[in-house]
Chain A
Amino acid sequence: MKRVGVVVFPGSNCEYDARFAMETLGVAAELVWHTRTDLSSFDGIILPGGFAHGDYLRPGALARFSPVMKAVAEFARDGGAVLGICNGFQVLTEAGLLPGALQKNVGLKFLCQETTLIVTSNASVLTSGAALDQELIIPINHFSGAYVCDDETYARVNDSGQIVLRYRENPNGSRGDIAGLANERGNVVGLMPHPERAMSTLLGSADGRVLLESFVASYVAA
């Protein structure tokens, strides 16, 4: 992967962290305003954290209708690597690119803390370079991070290895301790934790690197 587009919605606030993380890994990253409709110059797309469109209505509900999302859907359909972090994960579920939804945390707490994640599948662009059962310390920072889906959907994503990351200790009431989820092909991944904020031991953890390095390698294990 040579060039990543980091989509910026009105209210996004982690786009610079995402760009910095990509540049740290030697990949050119460009901020892409949400009205843009041509993503053909990119090898990967990141939907960053924040509060797209103020999170009005529901997180991601209005971002889904931003002009760029049609291009993101086409990019994903053509097999391109798409990563939604935090608010970006919420946008991907609202847009129907990932199943389920993200609901308010149990206990109505805004959570800003380190969490320990377990890699439970490496069949995705985000986890292909990580070892199964590998533990990663990565921070979360969200109010609506409890993953919700019906029984049928849960069985499907569980059986097909789409649940790529789980919390060791569930902080938010997420179903099945889900922290990160991929689509069937593994090229679209969403996660609530922030790997782009875990790029340096000096700042707490460098465990986000193995995930973003996988994303940059853009490889999906069969």
Chain B
Amino acid sequence: MNYFVIVDVTLREGIADPEGATIERALPALGFSGVHDVKAGKSFRMNIEADSQGAALEKATSLAERLLSNPVIEDARARLGEVHAQ
């Protein structure tokens, strides 16, 4: 089976996020008020061949921890996407 998996990589709690802070500061200038706690992160999408959903997620988590994220500063979370990518 082919599973469409999305991996979200976000900065760990307590790690400074200058990108998120800069975006948040820019919003009022564009007329968006009341937006707080903006966090920047990355999202990776992939198709994974596996026997089950669980196996696909396990593989995604493993590669996310090994390569897509740096565990010193980032958390990675794998989830199943709703649609199969073409």
Q: Are B15 and A148 in contact (CB under 8 A)?
A: yes
Q: Which of B50-58, B65-73, B77-85 contacts A (4 or more CB under 8 A)?
A: B65-73
11 extra A-B contacts, CB within 8 A, seeds A100-B72, A148-B73: A57-B67, A65-B67, A94-B70, A103-B15, A104-B18, A106-B18, A107-B18, A148-B15, A148-B72, A149-B72, A150-B72
Q: Is B38 in the interface zone, CB < 8 Å from A?
A: no
**Would A105 and B70 count as touching, CB distance under 8 A?**
no
Provide the bound-state CA to CA distance between A100 and B73, in Å: 8
B27 at the interface (CB under 8 A from A): no
CA distance A26 to B4 in the complex (A): 56
B62 within 8 A of A: no
CA gap between A149 and B70 in the complex, in Å: 12
**Interface residues as binary, B17-38 with A (CB distance below 8 Å gives 1, 0 otherwise):** 0110010000000000000000
Nearest CB of chain A from residue B63's CB, rounded to whole Å: 12
How many residues of chain A get a CB closer than 8 Å to chain B's CBs? 20
A101 touching B73 by the CB < 8 A rule? Answer: yes
> Hey, which chain A residues are within 8 Å of B73, CB to CB?
101, 103, 148
Given the interface pairs A100-B72, A148-B15, the reply to whether A61 lies near B67 with Cβ below 8 Å is yes
Report chain B residues within 8 Å CB of A146: 16
Q: List 15 A-B contacts (CB under 8 A).
A: A57-B68, A61-B70, A94-B70, A100-B72, A101-B72, A101-B73, A103-B16, A104-B18, A105-B18, A106-B16, A108-B18, A146-B16, A148-B15, A150-B72, A173-B16
Write the nearest CB–CB distance from B38 to chain A, whole angstroms: 13
Give the interface of B toward A (CB within 8 A).
Answer: 15-16, 18-19, 22, 67-68, 70, 72-73
Complex interface: chain A residues within 8 A of B70 (CB): 58, 61, 94, 101
**B-side contacts of A93, CB under 8 Å:** 72
A150-B72 Cα distance, complex, nearest whole Å: 8
Q: Are A108 and B72 in contact (CB under 8 A)?
A: no
Q: Specify which chain A residues have a CB less than 8 angstroms from the CB of B22 in the assembled complex.
A: 108
- A97 CB to closest chain B CB, in angstroms? 13
Q: How far is the CA of A168 from the CA of B15 in the complex (A)?
A: 23
